[in-house]
Amino acid sequence: MTTLLDRRFHFVTGKGGVGKTTITSALALSLAARDKRVLICGCNAKERFSALFEAPPLGHDVTLVAENVWATNIDPGRAMEEYGQMILKSRTVSRAVFDNRYVRSFFRATPGLYEWAMLGKAWFHAVEPSPDGTPPFDAVIVDAPATGHGLDMLRVPKVIVDVVPPGILRRDAERAWEMFRDERQTGVVIVTLPEDMPVNETLELSEAMTGELGLHVSNVVVNGMIPPLFSAPERASLLAPRALDERTRGGVAVAAGARRALRETIQAEALAKLGKHLSSPKVYVPLYFGGVNGLAEVREIARRLS
């Protein structure tokens, strides 16, 4: 069966603050270690790839950030202009259209158009031919917006296919949507934390991806795992109501143990819920107490994804 590292297109999403950008970067390095040429696409978001790859700040232009890894932070306005240039076959005509402030206002006011510009650009890089006939990138990874906006972005090509009359826009949306629904080529990677709210949101997101959109959730990455220090009976003992006086008398050490036991209990319950309701393969990434601040930590996570 197709694995996480075999697909051509990856859509990484999840609740805000769960570490999507870090996992996206680690996945790119995992693929690059297999001699794949990888493109990371940010979606007009606060740019963090340069810090993680210890590279200069990134913009819209595709930039090499590591061996076999390129990155772009897609600007939707420029992506629309590039798309128009491909359709109109003329840079001069395209600029005359897209530099018009009324046209730009129309684009900004049209729901989903900028989302399609970003997603469509990422898709195009996954299928565009190079001079020798092969795509310049073996894999494209989209660091998607958080849960709700990520779903909205993936809904756009389906809406175009369903309602837009035949033409170039619908043709491209049909090609992209066909690729997104092919689990041999595309997988949705959901990043979560071992906590109640992120896990609940992950379950809802997975249901929407598979049920409403018919897409394939290839993997769930559980980020921020802490190693358990206590057994289940020890956690129960530390958290029992009768232990309150003991924690008070025990001072800082016992109180710290109780806090750790509570966190481990929350993690265990979240993982149990995730395992019960979601059958997608899971990858577990440890918590970096000092944060993920550069290439060394990202490479460690990449080895875990591999």
Encode pLDDT of 53-108 as tens digits. Answer: 999 999 999 999 999 999 999 998 888 878 766 655 555 545 555 555 644 554 45
pLDDT band (50, 70, 90) for residue 258: confident
Say what the pTM is: 0.88
3-state helix, strand, coil in the chain (%, to 5): 55, 15, 30
Mean pLDDT taken over the chain: 86
CATH of domain 9-228+281-305: 3.40.50.300
Encode pLDDT of 188-210 as tens digits. Answer: 999 999 999 999 999 999 999 99
Phi, psi of 143 (to 5 degrees): -85, 90
Does 226 have pLDDT greater than 50? yes
**Measured in whole angstroms, how far is the alpha carbon of residue 264 from the centre of its chain?**
26
Q: How far apart are CA 67 and CA 165, in angstroms?
A: 43
Mean pLDDT of 33-60: 93
Task: Give me the residue spans of the domains in the chain.
Answer: 9-228+281-305
Nearest to 9, CA basis, from 223, 289, 215, 284: 215
Q: How far apart are CA 113 and CA 299, in angstroms?
A: 36
The token pair at 306 is 């591999």
